[in-house]
Amino acid sequence: MSDQGNLPRTPAEVLALASSLPGGLGQKLTAYLGHSRRLRPEMVAAIDRLIFHLNALYGEQIGPAVGDEMPAFLLPNQMGELVSLDGFLESGPLVISINRGHWCPYCKLDLRALAEIEPEIRGFGAQLVSIMPERAQFTKQAIADNRFPFPILSDVDLSYTLSLGLIYWVGAEVKELYKSIGLDLEKFQGNRNYFLPMAAKFIVGRDGIVKARVVDVDFRLRMEPKAILEALARL
């Protein structure tokens, strides 16, 4: 490991370091978490407690299972245009990424990894879309800042995520910690509820059936891009 003088000193520096590391998405996420435990131990400890509680509350099977029909959606994209699940499936399979928000560093690493494999996803005749509980001005900015080659849909009231059974309250402790670092979910989401979606991936066939999925109450764990491509190859 690098000496202390060379270690990243801010979350932004940690994100830049994790993004630049070789290897898969899991390695980048693990690196970000490791440095976060050093920089913000109280935040990570609070999230550890929240995740422990959610695991006890929800158990292993959360959301639509493989073989289930994916619930329909009709949501605005970053341009304010309403788009539907059926509309996407008219042209082929769909990879759906449920993300917490543009502010989440784990989501940034996740979405950047998805952007890298987007040409391969298209090569399978499929499309890719992210769904976030944020207003269009923030999803639009996220796409512009990162040059994401896929749309981000706004589930601002979390109604679609609720229909999937993937919604949770961050809890009083995490809520206050978010506020203490200036993370303004009220502004991003347009409400004061402090609910977030569980991070998830669904690969939906053209028939509307879930072919593969990864859902985890620990948002610091994500489906590897390689696994997404392997699922598409099996369709």
CATH of domain 62-233: 3.40.30.10
Beta carbons within 10 angstroms of residue 121's beta carbon: 23
Q: What is the pLDDT of residue 1?
A: 42
pLDDT at 183 exceeding the cut of 50: yes
Average pLDDT of the residues in 7-33: 94
Average pLDDT of the residues in 44-55: 96
Average pLDDT of the residues in 195-199: 97
Q: What is the pLDDT of residue 6?
A: 77
Q: What is the chain's mean pLDDT, rounded?
A: 95
Helices 41-58 & 25-39, crossing angle to 10 degrees? 120
Distance CA 16, CA 160 (A): 32
More confident residue, 45 or 156: 45
Q: What is the pTM of this model?
A: 0.94
| Domain ranges across the chain | 62-233
Beta pairing partners, 195: 169
Distance CA 63, CA 96 (A): 13
Residue 30 — pLDDT band, cuts 50, 70, 90?
very high
Q: What is the pLDDT of residue 128?
A: 98
Helices (H), 127-201: 136-146, 159-163, 171-180, 185-189
- Residues whose CB falls within 8 Å of the CB of residue 58, separated by 6 or more in sequence, listed in order: 217
pLDDT at 172 exceeding the cut of 60: yes
| pLDDT tens sequence across 123-149 | 999 999 999 999 999 999 999 999 999
Q: What is the pLDDT of residue 7?
A: 86
Average pLDDT of the residues in 161-167: 96
Q: What is the pLDDT of residue 59?
A: 76
Q: What is the pLDDT of residue 5?
A: 58
pLDDT at 2 exceeding the cut of 60: no
b/e code 57-69 from CB counts within 10 Å (16+ = b): ebeeebbbeeeee
Average pLDDT of the residues in 196-201: 97
Residue % of the chain over a pLDDT of 90: 94
More confident residue, 235 or 1: 235
Q: What is the pLDDT of residue 4?
A: 57
pLDDT at 109 exceeding the cut of 60: yes
Q: What is the pLDDT of residue 200?
A: 97
